[in-house]
Amino acid sequence: MLSLRTLRHFSVLAEERHYSRAAVRLHLTQSALSRSIQALEQGLNVQLLDRSASGLTLTPSGHAVLEHAYRVLQEADALHRRVELLQGIEAGDVAMGAGVFPAAGFLSPLLTQLARDYPGIRMRVEIESWQRLHEMLIRDSLDFVVAITHSLPPSSDFHLRPLPPQHIGLFVRAGHPLLAIAHRSLRASLADYQLAATHLPPRARNQLAALYRLSHADDLPLTLECNSVDTLLTVALNSDVVMLCVREAIREQLADGRVVQLPLAYSSDAELACNIVHHARRDLSPPALKVVTLIEDLMHAGAARLLRSPRDPSPD
């Protein structure tokens, strides 16, 4: 049967190419999702997916239906947002994306404030790389994104609301052996210690290689890649690992002295542009606008606290 619900189920399954992952995203059982897709195929009298041991692929008919499904779902979402705007309510669904570093700085207090003060707003949050979030924005899977955007500047199809910049660098625990090394010898000693970071795009890897004075990024001592700042921080606090991070994500640990920034410049782009990004043609609903305002307040307050905290030695 053709309905907005079955079209949404199909679009998510087409993105995930896996029934179990799609079912988790849709909060369905796999059997319920399978029945929904079968009903859609029967209603349209076409086969949408090829199923094999290696996974799911779209048939030519599936590609055509998916293209139309995206347009129908976008129009339905736009109608829903327009009604919310007319009603002026602070209740509804908000789907937002956040980059790993920005999320570490604002997400927990944001969700706490929403749960306490705005129980009518239902949140869905995707924490991903900016490249992945950009793809989701293009598909209209998200209302807006909070991300460091310098590696892939958004096109004119998107509206940017600037946030305080993020400041990237290398960090170690207090008492780390590198802190006892003379400044002139510090860079040469970096490679003796394991490096931990989030999943890095090629540009970031190349900048790190230049910092380490390596010809190839593959030679970096990168032994831990994880898109959880809390996990990276725990490892760095309890070992001699060097962590690539932004100051804004670990400002509490910097303020109390548990973490220290190494006086080495990651690159000339150590100050990274951070923005709230959404479609220029898309009106944000009242709940989404409320969430955006709260994020802006939290990010600016965090930047102000970081400026008031003691600074580590200036990087070279």
pLDDT tens digits, 99-134 = 999 999 899 999 999 998 888 899 999 999 888 899
**Total number of residues shown for the chain:** 316
Determine the pLDDT at residue 145: 96
Residue 159 included in any domain: yes
Question: What is the CATH number for 46?
Answer: 1.10.10.10
Under DSSP, the state recorded for 55 is: E
Angstrom distance (rounded) from CA 41 to CA 35: 10
**Beta partners for residue 58, in sequence order:** 49
- Please enumerate in sequence order all residues whose Cβ is within 8 A of that of 52, keeping only pairs 6 or more positions apart, or say none: none
Residue 250 included in any domain: yes
The tally of CA atoms less than 13 A away on the side-chain side of residue 101 is 25
Counting other chains too, the contacts that 39-48 makes at CB distance below 8 Å and 24 or more residues apart are: 39/1, 39/6, 40/1, 40/2, 40/6, 40/7, 40/9, 40/10, 42/1, 43/1, 43/2, 43/6, 44/2, 48/10
Same domain? 70 vs 196: no
Residue 314 included in any domain: no
Same domain? 280 vs 264: no
Which pair of structure tokens corresponds to residue 144? Answer: 């807006």
Same domain? 207 vs 299: no
Residue 207 included in any domain: yes
Per DSSP bridges, beta strands 55-58 and 49-52 are: antiparallel
Say how many domains are in the chain.
3
Same domain? 158 vs 222: no
Determine the pLDDT at residue 270: 64
Residue 26 included in any domain: yes
Question: What is the CATH number for 215?
Answer: 3.40.190.10
Same domain? 80 vs 96: no
Q: Which residues of the chain have pLDDT under 50?
A: 312-314
Residue 54 included in any domain: yes
Domain limit, last residue, from 85, 112, 141: 85
Determine the pLDDT at residue 85: 60
Residue 313 included in any domain: no
**In the chain, alpha helices (H):** 4-16, 19-26, 30-44, 60-87, 100-117, 130-138, 183-189, 202-211, 229-237, 251-255, 286-308
Angstrom distance (rounded) from CA 35 to CA 55: 18
Determine the pLDDT at residue 77: 76
Same domain? 238 vs 300: no
Instruction: Express as a percent the part of the chain with pLDDT over 70.
Output: 91
Which pair of structure tokens corresponds to residue 149? Answer: 């955007």
Range of the domain at 69: 4-85
Same domain? 94 vs 147: yes
Angstrom distance (rounded) from CA 88 to CA 216: 54
Same domain? 186 vs 263: yes
Angstrom distance (rounded) from CA 254 to CA 25: 36
Same domain? 200 vs 243: yes
Same domain? 56 vs 143: no
Same domain? 201 vs 260: yes
Domain limit, last residue, from 57, 85, 113: 85
In 3D space, the residue among 96, 106, 104, 94 whose CA is nearest the CA of residue 298 turns out to be 106
Residue 316 included in any domain: no
Domain limit, last residue, from 58, 85, 112: 85
Determine the pLDDT at residue 306: 66
Same domain? 135 vs 170: no
Q: Could you tell me the CA-to-CA distances from 199 to 172, 226, 247, 296 in Å, in that order? A: 19, 6, 17, 26
Determine the pLDDT at residue 226: 92
Contact call for residues 112 and 256 (beta carbons, < 8 A): no
